Structure 1
Amino acid sequence: MKRFSLLSPRAGAAFITPAGLLVGAFVIVPFFWVIYVSFTNRTLLGRTALNPEFVGLANYLELFSPHRFLDPGQFGFSLVLTIQFVLFSALLGQAALGMALAWLLQQVPKPVKAMTETVVIGAWILPEVVIGFAWFAFLDYDGGTLNGMLDAVGLPRGDWLLDYPFWVIVVFNTWRGTAFSMMLFNSAFASIPPSYFQAADVAGASSWQKFRDIGLPLIRGHVVTDLILITMWTFNVFTPFLLTKGGPGNQTEVLSIYTYRVAFRDFDFGKGAAVGVVVMLINLAFALFYLWVARKRTPGGAA
C-alpha cells in the first residue's frame, strides 16, 4: 500500500482547500458580486430590491457627472477631500512625525526609548472604537478634557468638532497612525552600521547632518514603502466616522464615509457598489505601484 506523505501534492491540496474555500466565499465571490451590482439599480427597499434592473454605466456616469461633481455630498467632493486628508494626515503627518520620532529615539537612553515606544504603540494597538470615543470625550464642547484644560489656564474654549472638523480628523488620524511609521523607520535606522555614525561624530557632524547625509539616503527604500502603505490605509480609513459621522455639512465625508452613506443610509446599493469599484481600482493602482517599488528593491529585480 502506498504511504501517504505530508510533502505530496495531495497533502498540500488537502491543507490549502479550506483556506481556498474561505477566500473564495468571503473575498472572490463578494468582489465579483459588487462589480455586478454596480451595473444595476439595486436598492434595499422598493421594487428594485428584489428585482434590480441592469442600467449599464448609469451609476458611474452619475458619479462623474460634470455638473455637480464637486458639490458637497457628491463623489468628486469626497474624492478631493480624501486626497487632502491623505496629504495632510499620511504624507505630512504620519510619515514626517514617525520619522522624527524614530530619529530622536536613536539619540536617547534606552529607558526613555522603551517608554516612548510603549506609549506610541499603545495608540496603534488599541481598538479603533475605544480610541474614537476617547477622542470624542477629549474634544467635547461641554465636558471635554481639552476645554477643561483651557478653562483652567484662562483661555477660551472651542467647539472643535463643529468649527474645525477636517483638522480634527487629520490630527486624530495622524496621532493614530504615526506608530507604524515610527516602528518602520526605527527598524530602518537600527539596521545602519553604527560605524557610519561614529565616523560622522569624529568628523564633528551635527545630528541634522548625520540624518541628512547618512540616515535618510540609506533608508530611502523604507521611506517609499512607508508612504505607499500609509497612503493606502489612510485612503480607506473609516475611523473619522466615529468623531464626525461625515459632518458637519459633509466637511469630513471622506470616500469611505461617502460609500457608507450612499449604500447603507440612502440604500442605493447600485451607486454604492460603483463607488466601491472605483475605490478598488484606486487601491489596485497603489498596490501595483508598491509591488513595482518592492521589485525594484529586490536584488533579482529589474534595474
Structure 2
Amino acid sequence: MSATASAVAAGASGTAAGAAVRAVVPDTGRGGVTALRVVHSEWIKFRSLRSTWCTLLAATVAMIGFGALICWVTVDHWARLPQDERLAFSPAGQSLKGFYLAQLAIGVLGVLVVTGEYATGAIRSTLAAVPRRVPVLLAKAGVFGAVTLAVTGVACPAAFLLGQSVLAGQHLGTGLAAPGVLRVVLGTPLYLTAVGLLAVGVGSLVRSTAGGVATVLGLLLVLPVLAQVLPGSWRDHIFPYLPGPAGQALTTLHAQPSALAPWPGFALLCGYAAAALAAGALLLRHRDA
C-alpha cells in the first residue's frame, strides 16, 4: 500500500474511531460505559470503513459466482466424467463450493476487525473509552459475527438456487427437501461465521494484520494439506480435527468415513474460535495497547 493510501486509510479509521468513542461516552451527564454503547461504537467503526463492504462483497461474489461457474463446468463436462466422479457427485455441495474462496475473504476481514485499529493507533482511544477492555473484543466479535451470518445467510441460499438452476440443464439438480441438503445450505453460513470469529480471535492474539492473515490462512489451507501427506494411520487421527475439516463436516453431504459427524465437527470449530477469543481477551487485559 502506498504512503498516500495508508494515510487515507488511517484517516478514515481515525474518523470512525472518534465517532465510536463519542458513541461509547456521549457526555458525562448521560451515564457511563454500557454494553449497548460499546456494541454501538463497534458497529460505527465496522460500517464506516469501505474495506468492510468491499470484502463482504468479494465474499458474496465468490460464494455465488464461483459456485455457478463450477456447476456450469460440471454440466459442460458431465458426459465425459468418470463413473466414480459421477457417483460421488453432490448437487448441493457443487453449488456451494464458492465457500472455499468466501472463507478466505471472511477470514481476512475478521483479522482486520481487530488489527486495523492497532495499525492506525486508534485502539488507544478505544481502550481509553472502555477501560475494562474485554467488552471491546466481545463487541467486535458480536458485530462481525452478526453481519457475517446475515450476509452469508443470504449468499449461500442464493448460490444454491442459482447452482441448481444451472445443474437442471442436465437434470442434475436437487431440492431443499432432499436428505441432508437443508443442513448443508444452512450449515455453510454457520461455518463461515465460525471461521470469521476464529479470525477475530487470531487477530486479537497476533495484533498484526500480516501475521494474523498468515495464521488464518495457515490454519485453513496449509495445515490440511500437510495433514493429507501424513501416513494414513496418522492422517485419520489428525486431519478431521483441524479447524477447517472439522467445521466443513457440517457443509458436506457425503463425508469420508474418517470425518467427524456434522454437528460435533462444527462444535469443535466453535471451540477453536472460543479458545482463540478467550486467549485474546486474556492478553488484551494484561498487555499494553
- Please give the TM-score of this superposition, normalised by the length of structure 1: 0.27
Bigger radius of gyration, 1 or 2? 1
> With CA pairs under 8 Å and 6+ residues apart, which has the higher RCO, 1 or 2?
1
Higher helix proportion (structure 1 or 2): 2
